[in-house]
Every structure is written in C-alpha cells, then in structure tokens.
Amino acid sequence: MIDSISVIGGKDKDGAAEAIPLLDIRAGEILAVVGTTGSGKSMLIADIEQWADGETPSQRRILINQMPAGEFADDRVLRGMAAEVSQNMNFVMDMSVKDFLNLHACSRHLEQAEMLAEQVLNYANRLSGEPIGSQDKLTVLSGGQSRALMVADVALISDAPVVLLDELENAGIDRLAALKGLALQNKIVVLVTHDPMLALLADRRVVMKNGGMFKLHSTTPEEKLLLKKLEQSNRQISFWREQLRLGFTVNEEALKQY
C-alpha cells in the first residue's frame, strides 16, 4: 500500500539545485503542476512515472513510503503502480469496449466484472461529449472518447495507486468531473495543467520554472471561493458549447436568459 511518494529535488536546466528540495505527496491528494510552456512540467510527471533514481536529466529521485522505489518493489510491480492519461491517447486493440473492460476487470481478479464494466462505461459517458456504446470498437473511438474511457477505467478498475494526468483540459472531456471522480478513490493524483479551475481544485500546486520545482502553494479558502465562481462561468460556457455543437445559434438575449 502506498501512503505517500516523495520527490527529492535535483537540478534545473542551468544545473542549479531546485528551489524545493523535497516534495511529499500523500494518498488522496491532488497535486497540480503549473508553469509556462517549457518550464519542466512534463519532465516532473515523467520522473514519477519511471520512478527516477537520479538517472534522468533532472537528477530527481522518487521515494515510495520514504523508501527508494527499487527497494519498495521490483520493476515489474513498479510498472503497474503509476497510470498515465495523456492528451494524445488512442487504442490499438481491435475489440469492443465491453470486451476490453470485462477483460481488464477479470485480469485484476475483480468480482462482478460485468457489472463493474457497466459502471465504468456509464462513468465514461458522463465525462465524454460523445456517447460511447458497449459494442463500439476501441479503434474507432475519438480522442475524447478514448480519454474518457481511460479516466473511468483508471478510477474504477485499475489498482494503480498513482495517477498522472497530462493537460486534462485538452482531452475533450468533462475535466472537473474526471478529476473529482479520481479524487474519491484515495489515489495520488498529479495533474499537469494550464487550467485555473483544475489548478484550484487541487489541494496544492507546484510551480515549475526553468526545469525545476520553484514554488509550492496550498490552495487557500479564498481560492476555493473563487473556484466556485469559475465553475459557474464554466457551466455557462459548457452549455453554449453544447448548443453550438447541436446546431443552434447564439444571441445576446439567449445569453442573458441562461
């Protein structure tokens, strides 16, 4: 069981020690990774995914429960302990959604695999802007459908205790619902994002600069209140996005009525 992972700071792009020497992330916590393009956000989650031990360009080391990852488990086990959902994800297996979910649930030796697969599909359809059918082939799913299915699968079937999300706002899914759903599973969630709502939904956020961890902030009560206002604006935008998708027109009077 993973209670926490720790990122021991390495070097930034100039070879200077990172401003944050140690970052502990607890089970059930959402950590947002923010920063400008090229600041090192993706490198940080890559270090976590491969359980870096000083061999990557950043020279970071990742601990599990205060132990070096290699001492906590062997490589085969470690590979299954971090699940990543990236912004570019598509399936290559030629099987139906239902068969894939049943197969995954059975491979995890989970009880009532068919019922669980149905729950995953229902959850994925709440996240996706396009309906996903149980008999749809994985290879014909759109990028948004694929990512919705993977988020639901990671939340309900996968036993990976660490979830890495790369720019969920570009996934074409209900990003807030996806993040909230993952948070309920007591997983460690590390999220690379440019989205202020996702950043404020996280418990903490680490700011990357020049390839290094630069600042660490806990989300304040005032920021949580601001998040509620942003969510209301997001609901309005989502409503009108759907109206345009369905072929309706938008005018100022209709906007006032929402």
The per-residue pLDDT for range 66-120, each reduced to its tens digit, is 999 989 988 888 888 998 887 666 676 789 999 999 998 888 888 888 899 999 9
pLDDT at residue 170, as a whole number = 63
The region that residue 40 occupies, defined by phi over 0 for left and psi between -120 and 50 for alpha, beta otherwise, is: left
Give Cβ neighbours of residue 16 (< 8 Å, ≥ 6 apart): 212
The per-residue pLDDT for range 173-196, each reduced to its tens digit, is 777 778 877 877 888 999 999 999
Cα 68 from Cα 134, distance rounded (Å)? 41
Annotate 187-217 with b (16+ C-beta within 10 A) or e (fewer).
bbbbbbbebebbbbbbebbbbbbbbbbbeee
pLDDT at residue 86, as a whole number = 74
- Residues 115, 143 contacting (CB under 8 angstroms): no
Give Cβ neighbours of residue 226 (< 8 Å, ≥ 6 apart): 200
DSSP class of residue 141? -
Least confident of 33-47, 131-145, 173-187, 188-202: 173-187
Q: Which fold has domain 1-81+161-219?
A: Rossmann fold (3.40.50)
pLDDT at 141 over 80: yes
Give Cβ neighbours of residue 112 (< 8 Å, ≥ 6 apart): none
What are the domain boundaries of the chain? Answer: 1-81+161-219, 90-159, 220-258
Cα 73 from Cα 79, distance rounded (Å)? 10
SS3 state at 49? helix
pLDDT at residue 172, as a whole number = 63
DSSP characters for 198-209? HHHHSSEEEEEE
pLDDT at 121 over 90: yes
pLDDT at residue 120, as a whole number = 92
Cα 2 from Cα 48, distance rounded (Å)? 14
Strand partners, 215: 207
Strand partners, 209: 212
Angle CA 154–209–43, to nearest 5: 35
Q: Supply the mean pLDDT for the chain.
A: 89
Query: For 188, how many CA atoms within 13 A lie in the half-sphere containing its CB?
Result: 21
The residue type of 33 is V
Output 247 or 235, whichever has higher pLDDT.
Answer: 247
The per-residue pLDDT for range 56-67, each reduced to its tens digit, is 999 999 999 999
